[in-house]
Structures are given as C-alpha cells and as structure tokens.
Chains A and B, each alone.
Chain A
Amino acid sequence: MPAVTETREAVEKLGQSTYKWGFETDIQMDLAPKGLNEDIVRLISARKNEPEWLLEWRLTAFRKWQSMKEPTWAKVSYPPIDYQDAHYYAAPRKKEGPKSLDEVDPELLKTYEKLGIPLHEQALLAGVELPEGETARPPVAVDAVFDSVSVVTTFRKTLEEAGVIFCPISEAVQEHPELVRKYLGSVVPVADNFYAALNSAVFTDGSFVYVPKGVRCPMELSTYFRINARNTGQFERTLIVVEDGASVSYLEGCTAPMRDENQLHAAVVELVAMEDASIKYSTVQNWYPGDSEGRGGIYNFVTKRGACRGARSKISWTQVETGSAITWKYPSCILQGDGSVGEFYSVAVTNNCQQADTGTKMIHIGRNTRSTIIAKTISAGRSDSTYRGLVRVQPKASGARNFTQCDSLLIGDECGAHTVPYIESRNMAARIEHEATTSKISEDQLFYCRQRGLSEEDAVGLIVNGFCRDVLKELPMEFAVEAQKLLQISLEGSVG
C-alpha cells in the first residue's frame, strides 16, 4: 500500500537532526587516562577520597568482573566493546563542590538551561528557595550529574528539615558511611552480572536517598544525567532506602550529545523498601540513539532492582525508554515481605536501527505478594524490540498473583517486536495471567485522523500516546506531559 511505503521511507529519513539534545558543552575536564585496571579503580577511589572498605569493595568487584563474560542471551547485536578504550573517570574541573550558584561553571548552567530541566530557576541552584506559595507547581528537587560527577543538588534544606537525605552518593559515602555501607550492594551484589560488576568497580557518582521512618518525602526527587565528554563511560550508582511507613517518588532523566562513536552507560540502581514503605521510580530515558544508519548512540546496559523487604511494601517502576542505540534493562522487584507489591510499567520506543531488550523480573517470595506488568513496545524503522520478563513464584509464596500485559505496536514493515515471557511457578496456588497483543498503526486510523485535520505526524503521536496511556498515566503529572512530547519527537519522521 502506498502510504505504508511512504511511512517506511520517511522513517528511514529520520536522521541526527531530530535529536534535539545533541549539543556538546565545552568545559574543562579532569580525565583519567584511558583503560581499566586496578590502578584506575584506586585512582577513582582516591579522587573521591573514599574509605578503605569501599576501595576493597570496588577491587573485589573488579576482580570478579575480570573473570566474567559479557552476556549474550539478549536479542541485541553490536561489535565487541573494547573496555580498555574508554576513560573511566571524567569530571568537570571545578573548585571544591559548588556551594552556591556563583561556583557552578556557567557553561554547565547553560547546558541545563538548554535542556529545560527544572534547574533553570537560578535561585534554586543557589539554594535560595522560593517563599511559601510562590511556586505554581509542586517543586522538584534535582540532583544533576554531569558525566561522572554530581554538580548540584537543589532543595536540600527543605528535604533535610523533613529528615530526608538526598545527595550525591559520593557525598553520602563521606557523610553517612554507615547507611551506604549497610545497603550498597545489598540488592545488586557486586558480581550480580557483568555490567553490575563493572559498575561496582568504577562507579563515580549517582544519587543517594534515605527517607526515615514514617516520612512522606515532601516533594518529587529527580536526578538528571548527562554524558558530555568524549569516550567516557558513565557508571552511576543510585541507592534509595525507604524506612517503615515512609514513601518517595523519584524520577530520572538522561540525555547525551550526538557522537559518531558509541558510548557506554552501565548504571546500577538499588531500591530498598521496608515495612509499609513505598517507592515510585520513574525513568524518562532519552540517551542519544545514534543516527539513521545506526552510527553512534549510547549502549545502555543497566541493572535496576528493588527489594520489598518489609511486609506490605511497594515498589513501582515506570519507564519511558526512547533513546540509546542499545537498551539492556530489566528493572526488577524482589517481593520478600508478605503482601508486598511490585509494579512495572514500561514504554519502549525504537526507531531507525535502535535495539531494545527490556523487561522485568518479579520474584515472589513472601505470601500474598502481587505484581503487575504492563509493557508497551513501539517499533519503527529497522529497529528491533524485545520484551523479556520473568515471573517466578517461590514455594512459600502462597496467594501470589501476577498479571502481565505486553502490547507491541509496529510502524512500517521492517521492524521487529518480540515477547519472551518466562514463568516459573513453584506454588500451585499462585495465579499468573499473561496477555500479549501485536498491532500496527492501521492506514484506516491514520486516514481517519487526517480527515479530521490532523497532520500525519500528529496522528501518529495521538495513536501512540493512546497506545501507551496505561503506562503514561503512572508517571507523575509533570513528567507525563514531557514524556508524551518525547514519544512524538522520537517517532518524528516515522511518517509523512
């Protein structure tokens, strides 16, 4: 059919120019030499002025990593990565951590301004908080991570008053070593997998959140990651601990400049929810996806896992993945506490030559644990997308329930979508439901919208957003709007 051909051709036309976050910032960098060995691990640890136990922890991870192999089971393909050909430490050169706006490199501020993240209120950056009632929308505290280093965290005072700790993890190592030591690696062990081991050895920064007993975090917390430097890997480490009856909503966003070469991003996120605690973790991932021929783009190999340790605790992952050349990511929940709840809501968009292998793992250990998985996959161009999900029910998890819904939407006929569910139930009484659908944006739908005056692009945006609605409505309000726009931009040129 002619329109389908046109759609496909238009998808192919989508090139670099459509990635709107592709600028590079000219900033003085402090760079470690290329390569990875024990000396580099020691250098990172020394730069961060870390205690001995952490250096040992890193070295253990590094030695384990050396004996591990890159996983090959995911449905993604890429040339071998030379792990010696990257810098493992890159930091914007600056004086001792910025305490006020004047100390933040103005180039950096400009970058964040261009990105339009809530940092732009200069007053916030300086730590001068607006008087009560002066913000039209609820404030969001932001931790901005530039290459490997956290450059600024806003709203710290308000949070401190509530008892919430929100700071770069490197700082938490100094200020709250007992907390970090207790929980770091407790959800994702150092040798959990190849990329997690690599991250454990060389992570440079990331966010740390601690919400004490009974506290509802008074505002959304958000981390903004940006890769800027050339040939650097980014290995951030996030650790969120929420005590009994406490709750937090956390959002991370990410972008990177356009580069011809591929850049490696291997993050680890660990969540710990105690009794009656709840953690909502939302991601809007928009790393540079590479150009239309598949040149450049971020390799996104991420390990995210949450432990529902306490009874009735709840962890909810929501992700909107539009970027990266390759995405390898399975945010998981270990449902240990009786009656604990795990949720995974995902939208993964691939266009051009992007590849995504993403999904979740729900491990039911406690009684009456419940999990919900809603995964929406959208493929366009020559891209390939796989949902891979595991639901495991342990023998003691009586009354466990899972509901999984996987829907794929194809745009054009050169892309692929695959659903790979693994179900392992060792408890006869568990209830596991799985539903899957695959559909195309039909020419009928497009024509109907266009007859009503919508451009083809707006029509695709509307239909795609409709397709993703069950996931988008899980995002915090402010970010839902942003995510909707991002979906449309990611598919820009996929028609007309």
Chain B
Amino acid sequence: MSQFLEISGLCARIDADGQEKQILRGVDLTIPPGEVHAIMGPNGCGKSTLSYVLAGREDYEVTAGSVTFKGQDLLAMEPEERAAAGLFLAFQSPIELPGVNNANFLRTAVNAVRRARGLEELDAVAFLKMAREAAKSLSMAPDMLKRNVNVGFSGGEKKRNEVLQMTLLQPSFAILDETDSGLDVDALRIVAEGVNRLRSPDFSALVITHHQKLLDYLVPDRIHVMAKGRIILSGGPELAKKIDQEGYTKFLAEAA
C-alpha cells in the first residue's frame, strides 16, 4: 500500500515580477498515517512554500516531482478538493475577510466539506453548539464567533482561530505553519492540546516551527531540516534539541 503522504522530488517556482524564482528544489518527504512530523529550517528556505504547494495555491508552478495523498495525485486536485479529502493548512499569516461573520464562514466551510465527504449538513443550531464548545476548549472568547473573520484579531487570536477551524473541519492531515509564533505560553499549551486532541491513527500532521517549545508538547515522530528548498536531514525528536542549542549553521555546513 502506498504511504499516507508521499512527496518526491518536488520542485516549484514562482514568477516574481517577471523573474522565475526557484524555491523548492527537490523535496522528498514521507509521512505515514498517525504520525506527527516537524519541519525546521532557516527563514526563507521554502517551508511556507511547501505548505502552499501542498494546499494548491496557484501562484506556485510545480516544475517537477509528485505528491500522493491517500493514494491520490494531490497536485491534480483543486484546493477545495484537497480540503474535502482531509487536508488542512493553518496559515502562517491568516487572512482577513471583512464583513464575513466568523461563525457563518465556519459553517459554510464545514458544510462544504461535509457535503463533499457525503455527510449530512449541519443546521445553524447544531453547528453553533459544536462551534461554541470547540471555541471554549481553546479558551477563545465567545464573541470571536460573532466577529468578522480575523478582522482586528490579535496575532495570537488569529492563530487560535486557525486551530478552531482545524478542530471543526476534522482533517486527516494538517499542516501547521508556525502556528506557535506569537503565542503566549498559555496559548501555546492550549493550541498544542488542541492538536493533540486530534491525534489518532487516522490523523497526521506536518508542523512547521522555529521553536523547541511546541515540540515539547507535541512530541513529533520525526524532525526534518529544510535548507534552500530541500530536506537535508531527518531524525528523531532529539534533532530539534540539537538545533535549538547549536543553530542551523553547523548542519548546513555539514550537509553542504
């Protein structure tokens, strides 16, 4: 049987002001079902780009390689099809939607995904009950559901809102792009608990982070180090601690 998520030789570039810019230069990565993996790497090495390409952002042109997700050709799917198939991306910088009520947005999304998965849609009452409980478990103020999506949210509130969406959409594969950045210590723990609650043999995650702290809570199965658009090193949780102590320079030098 093929792996849960299998990325091989993935290359992608972007057209920035008429200049072709190669960002991913052959990413190989395999995540088995039920595992949590972490990616670390210096600023600008292509971590967010990888998450966007996996989620289907059209600005990035895939020039080589393949991605299979639960046996399907992920790169051939529309972003919303990927979401329906169970892929969720917690954005490094969540987007604001002025005038769009957060609860309404969440319900529209949850029902779109449920429809695509062959589940019954939730009515407003059932949904609100579920959403309020989920918000509470993330210690979010109840009025966050009534406000406009991410508009005027603090940095930490935005990140929590991402985790709220993840909780409600029940993905089988979540990419968390620096969801820990900008969180205070309590929030970090709450968010980590939110992710841990989802853990099951049917749930995998790829956690992008710069900090050891989140990994202390999540205890990833594997750590990957990315540099210049490739995974240059993989190892167990101890790798993160080493990076935390020694910095990237040494690893990059060794890998070169």
Interface, chain A (partner B; CB < 8 A): 1-3, 6, 442-445, 447-456, 458, 462-463, 465-470
| Interface mask (B140-173 → A, CB under 8 Å = 1, otherwise 0) | 0000000010000000000000000100010000
Contact partners of B56 in chain A: CB under 8 A: 450-451
At the interface, yes or no: B35 with Cβ under 8 Å from chain A? no
Assembled-state Cα–Cα distance A3/B58 (Å)? 7
Q: Is the CB of A452 within 8 A of B148?
A: no
Which chain A residue shows the least CB distance to B91? A448
Please name 8 pairs of A and B residues whose Cβ atoms are closer than 8 Å in the assembled complex, sorted by A: A442-B95, A443-B58, A447-B57, A447-B58, A453-B113, A454-B108, A458-B108, A467-B99
**Total residue contacts A-B, CB cutoff 8 A:** 84
Q: Is the CB of B99 within 8 A of A2?
A: no
Contact partners of B97 in chain A: CB under 8 A: 445, 448-449, 462-463, 466
Contact partners of A453 in chain B: CB under 8 A: 80, 83-84, 109-110, 112-113, 116, 169
Contact partners of A444 in chain B: CB under 8 A: 95
Contact partners of A469 in chain B: CB under 8 A: 99
Contact partners of A454 in chain B: CB under 8 A: 80, 108-109, 112
Assembled-state Cα–Cα distance A442/B88 (Å)? 20
| Nearest CB on B from A474, distance (A) | 14
User: Majority SS of interface residues in chain A?
Assistant: helix
Assembled-state Cα–Cα distance A458/B203 (Å)? 28
Contact partners of B108 in chain A: CB under 8 A: 454, 458, 462
| Interface mask (B95-120 → A, CB under 8 Å = 1, otherwise 0) | 10111110011001110110010000
At the interface, yes or no: B59 with Cβ under 8 Å from chain A? yes
Assembled-state Cα–Cα distance A457/B138 (Å)? 31
Contact partners of B101 in chain A: CB under 8 A: 466
Contacts A443-B58, A450-B80, A453-B80 supplied; 7 other A-B pairs, CB < 8 Å: A1-B59, A447-B58, A451-B89, A453-B116, A454-B112, A455-B112, A466-B98
| Nearest CB on B from A446, distance (A) | 9
Contact partners of A466 in chain B: CB under 8 A: 97-101, 148
Q: How large is the interface on B (under 10, 10 to 19, 20 to 34, 35 or more residues)?
A: 20 to 34
If the complex has contacts A1-B59, A466-B98, A466-B99, are A450 and B83 also in contact, measured as CB distance less than 8 A?
A: yes
| Nearest CB on B from A194, distance (A) | 38
Contact partners of B105 in chain A: CB under 8 A: 449, 452, 462
| Nearest CB on B from A291, distance (A) | 28
At the interface, yes or no: B78 with Cβ under 8 Å from chain A? yes
| Nearest CB on B from A496, distance (A) | 9
Interface centre among A450, A452, A454, A468 (most CB of B within 10 A): A452
If the complex has contacts A453-B169, A458-B108, A466-B148, are A445 and B78 also in contact, measured as CB distance less than 8 A?
A: no
Contact partners of A452 in chain B: CB under 8 A: 83, 105, 109, 112-113, 165, 169
Assembled-state Cα–Cα distance A447/B105 (Å)? 14
| Nearest CB on B from A276, distance (A) | 33
| Interface mask (B226-238 → A, CB under 8 Å = 1, otherwise 0) | 0000000000000
Q: Is the CB of B99 within 8 A of A468?
A: yes
Q: Is the CB of A2 within 8 A of B112?
A: no
Assembled-state Cα–Cα distance A480/B57 (Å)? 33
| Nearest CB on A from B156, distance (A) | 19
Say which residue of A3, A445, A465 sits within 8 Å of B95 (CB atoms).
A445
| Nearest CB on A from B154, distance (A) | 18
Which chain B residue shows the least CB distance to A468? B99
Say which residue of A443, A455, A465, A470 sits within 8 Å of B100 (CB atoms).
A465
Nearest 9 Cβ contacts at the A-B interface: A466-B99, A466-B100, A452-B109, A453-B113, A453-B83, A450-B79, A448-B95, A469-B99, A453-B112
Interface centre among B56, B80, B94 (most CB of A within 10 A): B80
Interface, chain B (partner A; CB < 8 A): 55-59, 78-80, 82-84, 88-89, 91, 94-95, 97-101, 104-105, 108-110, 112-113, 116, 148, 165, 169
Interface centre among B58, B94, B101 (most CB of A within 10 A): B58
Contact partners of A458 in chain B: CB under 8 A: 108, 112
| Nearest CB on A from B79, distance (A) | 4
| Nearest CB on B from A408, distance (A) | 14
Which chain B residue shows the least CB distance to A445? B95
Assembled-state Cα–Cα distance A6/B78 (Å)? 14
Contact partners of B59 in chain A: CB under 8 A: 1-3, 443
Assembled-state Cα–Cα distance A442/B95 (Å)? 10
Contact partners of B99 in chain A: CB under 8 A: 465-470
Assembled-state Cα–Cα distance A443/B98 (Å)? 15
Contact partners of B104 in chain A: CB under 8 A: 462
Contact partners of A468 in chain B: CB under 8 A: 99
Q: Is the CB of A450 within 8 A of B95?
A: no
| Nearest CB on A from B163, distance (A) | 13
Contact partners of B89 in chain A: CB under 8 A: 451
Contact partners of B110 in chain A: CB under 8 A: 453
| Nearest CB on A from B21, distance (A) | 14
Assembled-state Cα–Cα distance A470/B97 (Å)? 14
Assembled-state Cα–Cα distance A455/B115 (Å)? 12
Q: Is the CB of A462 within 8 A of B95?
A: no
Contact partners of A447 in chain B: CB under 8 A: 55, 57-58, 79, 95
Which chain A residue shows the least CB distance to B148? A466
Assembled-state Cα–Cα distance A449/B169 (Å)? 13
Which chain A residue shows the least CB distance to B99? A466
Contact partners of B82 in chain A: CB under 8 A: 451
| Nearest CB on B from A264, distance (A) | 35
Assembled-state Cα–Cα distance A451/B166 (Å)? 11
Assembled-state Cα–Cα distance A442/B57 (Å)? 13
Which chain A residue shows the least CB distance to B80? A450
Assembled-state Cα–Cα distance A445/B151 (Å)? 12
Assembled-state Cα–Cα distance A445/B149 (Å)? 11
Say which residue of A2, A6, A449, A467 sits within 8 Å of B98 (CB atoms).
A467
Contact partners of B58 in chain A: CB under 8 A: 1-3, 6, 443, 447
Assembled-state Cα–Cα distance A448/B177 (Å)? 14
Contact partners of B88 in chain A: CB under 8 A: 451
| Nearest CB on B from A199, distance (A) | 36
| Nearest CB on A from B173, distance (A) | 13
Q: Is the CB of B98 within 8 A of A455?
A: no
If the complex has contacts A444-B95, A445-B95, are A451 and B100 also in contact, measured as CB distance less than 8 A?
A: no
